[in-house]
Amino acid sequence: EIVLTQSPGTLSLSPGDRATLSCRASQTVTSDYLAWYQQKPGQPPRLLIYNAAYRATGIPDRFSGSGSGTHFTLTITRLEPEDFAVYYCHQYGNSPPETFGQGTKVEIK
């Protein structure tokens, strides 16, 4: 089973700041099949990025994904008020099981 470790656990930033979130895998993620999600309280996760670097339909271009193998990054170039939430990475290349990270909370400083 691939373990995904996200860092930092919490990121305290201000609107307009740049956010850089990390996701490290315990083994190589096959074909870079890694996604990023945003989740707000009481809602299901919202897909932002799939296959490490491709924005899902309707996702603003301030969200970008990069990385390969065992290290992946989600970057939000200029934080908007609605971007303060919890973010999860998810690998679906090595299944079963697919696995999720434990999350990074982006909070207002």
Q: How far is the CB of 14 from another protein (least distance, A)?
A: 25
Q: Coil, strand, or helix at residue 15? A: coil
Q: Which two tokens stand for residue 92?
A: 């679906």
Q: Closer to another protein at the Cβ: 84 or 87?
A: 87
Please say whether the beta carbons of 26 and 18 come within 8 A.
no
Residue from 19, 49, 76, 106 touching another protein (CB under 8 A): that is 49
Q: What would the DSSP string read from start to end of 24-56?
A: EESSPPGGG-EEEEEE-TTS--EEEEETTTEEP
**Which of 27, 102, 107, 108 forms a contact with another protein (CB under 8 A)?**
102
Site string for another protein, 4-43 (x = CB under 8 A): ---------------------------x-x-xxx------
The stretch near another protein (CB under 8 A) out of 12-20, 21-29, 75-83, 93-101 is 93-101
- Bond preceding residue 8 cis, omega within 30 of 0: yes
